[in-house]
């Protein structure tokens, strides 16, 4: 088991290197550099730019540039922002990432609390009115784009009804402790639902079909023939098996939530990684773009790794050798 | 005093309501009794309604199936109208069941120990240690000498034969008065089959259980059963003691089943099979359900389904060829 996990982590390393090469290549292949926009400024001697390029190493061969960048990244030195002068990327990211993680966790918890019970109910009562309702909601959740749902939510619940704030993370900077927590949650409701919508739809459908599948299996019939109660049949024998594929799915959800957050945060002007990312793209702030991209990649890899590890814990049939 | 029957089934009907208003009469009016300690075989080709009969007794019929009528009496008490909660006290405790597929009958994510102690603790007043000890003893009793280690193992770590032994251990764990074994050896290697059947026989004698042995293998019947019921098209078509049935089978279907049995001491030329296939349960022919395949089919067979009637004591046949019949 431990060996299995260690081996999975070792596989992780070459994947990470591949990922960093791709990120670097994409950034290098993009036309222009931070000086491109200013090159036509007639008051500045083009030679000055060249000197600066030389100083920053932008004229070095690409592999050399990659190695320099990768070593720095590995050391945790994400470089300096080219747009927010004098700010290092690490501090820019770290002040935003917390908000994104909060939002992601909020959306994930919401997804699970809603999707799993409804999925179970639908499987227990297939073709019931609630099952049909859930199916309809599922199609809706998958079909409606994030940003569109977000805009509608703002219009209805923030502007018309005024129940929830339309943007930001906090409105009263003077409160602390539990009151601050509640204020943050209040701000997270609309973006959280928006972000979790697609996942909720997906999990609900998965849960329904998994539970239905397991309920029809031979070992469930055995459990019933042993005289196990309905509770035990559902919550012990069925759920434990039905959750195995769901857990795998959750690993991927990790990455899906982070990338979903990019759009959702933009819609709600929520100051997280997503808004930082979009702004950096507009500003051609390459060090920030590259760091966030790499971070998203790492998050997805970690998500998959966690899924694998959970999977090996819940399914004894997984072989570790 | 006449001994009370362990199980009495009267006019049991289980239908599946399919799409387009079709109805599959999987079990259509069967009646029988099982006395204490008796082994009764239920034989018939695949699709004749054996499993559904057994699952109906356990009240484990899933939608779109439904028990349409009949009466089930267990140890003198009618259980037909028991609710779900009452049935959980019967299943595994008074009636235990073993299934055909040992590879899929155990839950893959729980240990053998967990799955046996679970049933023990459900029906017996035992604490964790007592249940554990009882489970280990049972595993040893069914011939699993590595019992203690096996308690911590998962089903996928055991062979099919070992899993079926675990199923037997689980089935006998709460001293049921009736064990239903639905083709318990069909999925196993030929070499293992006899071992498992012998084990079941041994356990049956030791715990004084009655056994309803479902099989499509007439060879098994001759060695293990006291009485036989032959099932076709959701109905019992012949019923008698094993000796009588093997000696003088009356129903053309039974004769066909016996003829298809390879016997070492008989001429190979006898080895034949019944022509055609079992008609689907939603599309039985009018009249005798075997009429589409019967070599002796007569005019009246096409319009009237014969009733199951005694042709001599303890020998019932459902066929127009035999005089004592009463037409339906
Ligand atoms: N889930 C089901 N849905 C529809 N029909 C079924 C279902 N299960 C069984 N049947 C019908 O019942 C008949 C008898 O099935 P079964 O009792 O499993 O046969 P056996 O055990 O003798 O092979 C089948 O031929 C089929 O037509
Ligand atoms: S009733 Fe007629 S068709 Fe049916 S088994 Fe007897 S002879 Fe054959
Ligand atoms: Mg069967």
3-state secondary structure string, chain A? Answer: CHHHHHHHHHHHHHHHHHHHHHHHHHHHHCCCCCCHHHCCCCCCCHHHHHHHHHHHCCCCCHHHHHHHHHHHHHCCCCCECCCCCCCEHHHHHHHHHHHHHHHHHHHHHHHHHHHHHHHHHHHHCCCCHHHHHHHHHHHHHHHCCHHHHHHHHHHHHHHHCCCCCCCCCCCCCCCCHHHHHHHHHHHHHHHHHHHHHHHHHHHHHHHHHHHHHHHCCHHHHHHHHCCCCHHHHHHHHHHHHHHHHHHHHHHHHHHHHHHHHHHHHHHCCCCCHHHHHHHHHHCCCHHHHHHHHHHHHHHHHHHHHHHHHHHHHHCCCCCCC
* pLDDT single digits (tens) B254-310: 999 988 766 544 444 444 578 888 889 999 999 999 999 999 999 999 999 999 999
Q: Is residue B139 part of a domain?
A: no
Å from A217 to nearest chain B CA? 8
B48 lines ligand 1 (CB under 6 A): yes
- Its pTM stands at 0.85
Structure confidence at residue B326 as a pLDDT band (50, 70, 90): very low
Is beta strand B95-98 parallel, antiparallel or unpaired with respect to B178-182? parallel
pLDDT reported for residue B270? 44
State residue A51 phi and psi, 5-degree precision: -60, -45
Q: Which residue has the higher pLDDT, A127 or B268?
A: A127
Contacts of B76 (CB under 8 A, 6+ apart): B4, B5
pLDDT for B324 equals: 59
Q: What is the C-alpha to C-alpha distance for residues B112 and B102, in angstroms, rounded to an integer?
A: 13
Q: Is B109 on the interface with A (CB under 8 A)?
A: yes
Q: For position A166, what pLDDT does the model report?
A: 81
Does any ligand 2 atom lie closer than 6 A to the CB of residue B288?
A: yes
ipTM of the complex: 0.91
CA distance A272 to A255: 15
Q: Which of A224, A240, A241 sits opposite B60 (nearest CB)?
A: A224
In a domain, B144, yes or no: no
Dihedral through CA B155, CA B158, CA B161, CA B162, nearest 10? Answer: -80
Please tell me whether residue B39 adopts helix, strand or coil conformation: strand
Phi, psi values for residue A128, rounded to 5° = -85, 165
* A245, A206 contact by CB (below 8 A): yes
What is the position in ligand 1's atom list of the atom closest to the CA of B281?
A: 27
Partner residue opposite A226 with nearest CB, options B101, B109, B119:
B119
Least confident of A160-174, A198-212, B50-64, B223-237: A160-174
Q: What is the mean pLDDT of residues A274-278?
A: 90
B84, A228: Cβ pair inside 8 Å?
Answer: no
- For the CA of B295, the closest atom of ligand 2 is 8
Q: Could you tell me if residue B134 is inside a domain?
A: no
Q: Measured in angstroms, how far is the CA atom of residue B200 from the centroid of ligand 3? A: 19
Q: What per-residue confidence (pLDDT) applies to A40? A: 55
**CB < 8 Å to A225, chain B:** 58, 60, 91-92, 96-97, 99
- Tell whether the model's pLDDT for residue A285 goes beyond 50: yes
Q: Is residue B45 part of a domain?
A: yes
Q: Is the pLDDT of residue A311 over 60?
A: yes
Mean pLDDT on A287-291: 87
A76-80, A122-126, A220-224, B122-126, range with the lowest pLDDT:
A76-80
pLDDT at A76: 81
- Rounded to a whole number of angstroms, the distance from the CA of B104 to the nearest CA of chain A is 6
- Residue B300 neighbours by CB distance under 10 Å: 13
Please spell the DSSP secondary structure of B179-199, one letter per residue: EEEESTTTTS-HHHHHHHHHH
Of B89, B107, B108, the CB nearest to A227: B89
| pLDDT value of position A247 | 85
For residues B268 and B91, the model is more confident at: B91
**CA distance linking residue B273 with residue B250, whole number of Å:** 17
In 3-state terms, what secondary structure has residue B86?
helix
What are A23-65's pLDDT values in tens digits? 888 888 776 665 555 555 666 677 777 777 777 777 778 888 8
What per-residue confidence (pLDDT) applies to B285?
93
B258 within some domain? yes
Percent of chain A clearing pLDDT 90 (strictly above): 27
Helix axes A89-124, A177-215, angle to 10 degrees: 40
What residue spans define the domains of chain A?
A: 2-67, 89-314
For ligand 1, the distance from its centroid to the CA atom of residue A174, given in whole angstroms, is 70
Tokens 């296939």 identify what position? B277
CA of B284 to the centre of ligand 2 (A): 14
Q: B60: distance to nearest CA of chain A, Å? A: 8
What's the Cα-to-Cα distance from B131 to each of B114, B148, B287, rounded to whole Å? Answer: 10, 13, 54
Please, what is the end-to-end C-alpha distance for chain A in angstroms?
A: 9
Strand pairing class (B77-78; B65-74): antiparallel
| Whether residue A250 has pLDDT greater than 60 | yes
For chain B, how many structural domains are there in total? 1
Q: For residue A239, what is the nearest residue in chain B, using CA coordinates?
A: B109
Bridge partners for B306 per DSSP? B327
Which H/E stretch holds residue B113?
helix B112-123
**Residue at token pair 């999987």:** B26
Strand partners, B91: B95
Residue with tokens 């309501």: B17
Q: Does B153 touch chain A (CB under 8 A)?
A: no
Pick the residue with more confidence: A93 or A49? A93
* Assigned token pair, B141: 């009793």
Q: Domain containing B228 — which CATH number?
A: 3.40.50.300
Residue B132 belongs to a domain: no
Residue B16 CA to residue A54 CA, distance in Å, equals 82
Whether residue B325 is contained in a domain is answered as: no
Confidence of residue B56 (pLDDT cuts 50, 70, 90): very high
Give the structural domain span for B216: 7-109+154-317
The confidence score (pLDDT) of residue A55 equals: 73
CA distance B56 to B15: 10
Span of A233-242, A244-253, B53-62, B280-289 with lowest mean pLDDT: A244-253
**Average pLDDT of chain B, as a whole number:** 91
Quote the CA–CA distance of A285 and A291 in Å, as a whole number: 10
CA distance A144 to A83: 35
**CB B159 less than 6 A from any atom of ligand 1:** no
The ligand 1 atom nearest the CA atom of B55: 17
Which residues, at least 6 apart from A140, have a Cβ–Cβ distance to it below 8 Å? A201
Cα A204 to ligand 2 centre (Å): 54
Q: Which residues, including other chains, have CB under 8 Å from residue B223's CB and lie 6 or more apart? A: B197
- In this prediction, residue A220 has a pLDDT band, given cuts at 50, 70 and 90, of very high
CB A188 within 8 A of CB A102: yes
Does B324 map to a domain? no
Q: SS3 for B318?
A: coil
Three-state DSSP at B130 gives helix
Residue nearest to atom 3 of ligand 2 (CA): B291
Query: Does the pLDDT value for residue A167 go beyond 50?
Result: yes
Most confident of A73-77, A82-86, A193-197, B269-273: A193-197
Alpha helices in B227-318 (DSSP H): 242-247, 252-259
Question: What whole-number distance in Å separates Cα of residue B203 and Cα of residue A200?
Answer: 51
Identify the pLDDT of residue B268.
44
Q: Which CATH architecture has domain A89-314?
A: Orthogonal Bundle (1.10)
């Amino acid at each position: 088991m431990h060996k299995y996990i260690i081996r999975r982590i070792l596989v992780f390393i070459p994947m990470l290197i591949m990922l960093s090469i791709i990120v670097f290549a994409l950034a290098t292949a993009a036309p222009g550099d931070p000086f491109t926009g200013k090159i036509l400024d007639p008051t500045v001697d083009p030679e000055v730019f060249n000197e600066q390029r030389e100083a920053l190493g932008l004229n070095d061969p690409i592999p050399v540039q990659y190695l320099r960048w990768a070593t720095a990244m590995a050391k945790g030195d994400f470089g300096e922002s080219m747009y927010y002068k004098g700010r290092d990327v690490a501090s820019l990211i770290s002040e935003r990432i917390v908000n994104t993680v909060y939002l992601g966790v909020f959306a994930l918890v919401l997804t699970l609390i809603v999707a799993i019970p409804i999925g179970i109910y639908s499987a227990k009562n297939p073709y019931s009115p609630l099952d049909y309702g859930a199916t309809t909601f599922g199609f809706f959740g998958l079909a409606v784009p994030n940003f569109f749902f977000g805009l509608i939510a703002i219009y209805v619940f923030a502007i018309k009804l005024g129940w929830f704030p339309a943007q930001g993370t906090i409105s009263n900077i003077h409160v602390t402790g539990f009151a601050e927590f509640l204020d943050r949650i209040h701000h997270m409701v609309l973006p959280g639902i928006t972000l979790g919508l697609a996942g909720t739809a997906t999990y609900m459908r998965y849960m329904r079909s998994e539970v239905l599948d397991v309920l029809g299996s031979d070992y469930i019939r055995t459990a019933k023939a042993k005289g196990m109660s309905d509770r035990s049949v559902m919550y012990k024998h069925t759920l434990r098996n039905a959750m195995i594929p769901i857990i795998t799915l959750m690993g991927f959800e990790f990455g899906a939530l982070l990338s979903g957050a990019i759009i959702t945060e933009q819609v709600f002007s929520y100051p997280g990684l997503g808004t930082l990312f979009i702004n950096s793209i507009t500003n051609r702030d390459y060090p920030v773009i590259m760091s966030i991209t790499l971070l998203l990649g790492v998050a997805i890899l970690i998500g998959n790794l966690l899924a694998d590890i959970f999977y090996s814990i819940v399914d004894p049939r997984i072989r570790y050798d | 005093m006449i001994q009370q029957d362990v199980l009495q089934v009267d006019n049991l009907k289980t239908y599946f309501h399919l799409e387009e208003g079709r109805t599959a009469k999987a079990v259509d009016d069967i009646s029988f009794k099982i006395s204490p300690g008796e082994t009764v075989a239920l034989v018939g080709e695949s699709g004749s309604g054996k499993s559904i009969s057994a699952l109906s007794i356990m009240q484990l019929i899933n939608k779109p199936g439904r028990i349409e009528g009949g009466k089930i009496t267990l140890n003198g008490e009618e259980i037909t109208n028991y609710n779900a909660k009452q049935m959980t006290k019967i299943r595994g405790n008074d009636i235990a069941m073993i299934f055909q597929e040992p590879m899929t009958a155990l839950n893959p994510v729980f240990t053998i120990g967990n799955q046996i102690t679970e049933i023990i603790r459900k029906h017996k007043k035992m604490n964790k240690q007592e249940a554990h000890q009882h489970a280990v003893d049972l595993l040893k009793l069914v011939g699993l000498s590595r019992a203690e280690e096996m308690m911590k193992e998962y089903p996928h770590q055991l062979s099919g034969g070992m899993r079926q032994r675990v199923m037997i251990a689980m089935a006998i764990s709460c001293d049921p008065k009736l064990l239903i074994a639905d083709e318990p050896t069909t999925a196993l290697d030929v070499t293992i089959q006899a071992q498992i059947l012998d084990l079941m026989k041994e356990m049956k004698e030791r715990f004084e259980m009655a056994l309803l042995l479902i099989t499509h293998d007439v060879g098994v019947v001759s060695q293990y059963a006291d009485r036989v019921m032959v099932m076709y098209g959701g109905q019992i078509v012949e019923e008698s003691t094993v000796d009588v049935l093997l000696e003088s089978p009356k129903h053309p279907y039974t004769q066909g089943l016996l003829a298809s049995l390879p016997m070492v001491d008989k001429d190979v030329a006898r080895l034949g099979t019944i022509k055609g296939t079992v008609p689907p349960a939603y599309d039985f022919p009018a009249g005798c359900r075997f009429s589409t395949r019967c070599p002796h089919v007569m005019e009246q067979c096409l319009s009237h389904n014969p009733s199951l009637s005694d042709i001599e004591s303890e020998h019932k046949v459902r066929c127009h060829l035999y005089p004592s019949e009463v037409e339906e």
